[in-house]
A and B are shown apart, each in its own frame.
Chain A
């Protein structure tokens, strides 16, 4: 198709869609207005029913926990798919040893980068754990904390060399961490059923509001999510960075 014809088609399509766009814009609620009663109901009920102070966590890991279960398995499927694709292309059983690529060496890190990463990586990992543990109290939770922990692992890679990083980032360990997280979430769903309650029903003791251990089943589902997200993120990092196949300074390039 010629550029001119393409432009004509684009303009016709835009003109056809314009009335719909205008109608939607005219009927939008005003800024900051929330017409639905659900948010207010959660704000009113969750602190009393679940002893939590972060309503987002109450919705994610309890009231709509079933949706989060689906999301977690979507993540598991996505990570598994990426791993199968990348590892499958390289061949099975080669993922344990970092690959070599001639002529692909990268510049060695400067001492400043190493120093900054060695300082900030543990701090970031600690902060990730903090975000995970305070899911029911302050903003954050398993998803965010898991990704922050994964970012800490990335800083470790930046600070150390690829080969050193691969020595303590074992694929099998993170396979197990991710699978354990997914399993914990499912068990948190079926556990209450063993006791005669409904799937994912919050039957655990709720504890004192504003305490680190509070919210009952939310603690379990949140921990499962954190493990699955952190494990999955590190696995993706492992496979993606293996694609870059950076050599160490001492290696023959």
Chain B
């Protein structure tokens, strides 16, 4: 295992922990996107560019957007304090 891989693994673990520790939903969406980016870098380092593409497109763009849309939709009935 090279230093690059170790770094990528640690980055993925750190950002994943960040998602869990973030309590505010909207900030958590951003944390999730950052975790997706770290995972994409990890897959790239593991020589799986196809998976990295998918993770980048779905994990950092599509999924956070759906969550944001959902949060806005929920806020229709209960305005945030």
Residues of A within 8 A of B (CB): 31-32, 54, 56-57, 101, 104, 131, 139-141, 143-144, 147-148, 150-151, 154, 233, 236-237, 240-241, 243-244
Contact = CB atoms under 8 A, between A and B. Distances in A.
Nearest to A106: B72
B7 interface: no
**Which DSSP category, helix, strand, loop or mixed, fits chain B's interface?**
helix
B50 A141 contact: yes
Nearest to B74: A243
Given A101-B76, A144-B54, 14 more contacts: A31-B1, A57-B50, A139-B52, A140-B49, A140-B53, A144-B53, A144-B57, A147-B54, A147-B58, A148-B57, A151-B57, A151-B61, A241-B69, A243-B69
Nearest to B69: A240
Interface string B56-81: 01100110011001101100100000
Contacts of B52: 139
Contacts of B65: 154, 237, 240
Contacts of A31: 1
Contacts of B72: 243-244
A233 B62 contact: yes
6 contacts: A140-B50, A140-B53, A143-B54, A144-B53, A240-B66, A244-B69
A148 B40 CA distance: 15
Given A31-B1, A243-B73, A139 B62 contact: no
Please indicate which of the listed interface residues B54, B57, B65, B70 has the most CB atoms of chain A within 10 Å of its own CB: B57
Contact of B50 (A32, A139, A151, A240): A139
A241 to B, nearest CB: 6
Given A240-B69, A244-B72, A151 B53 contact: no
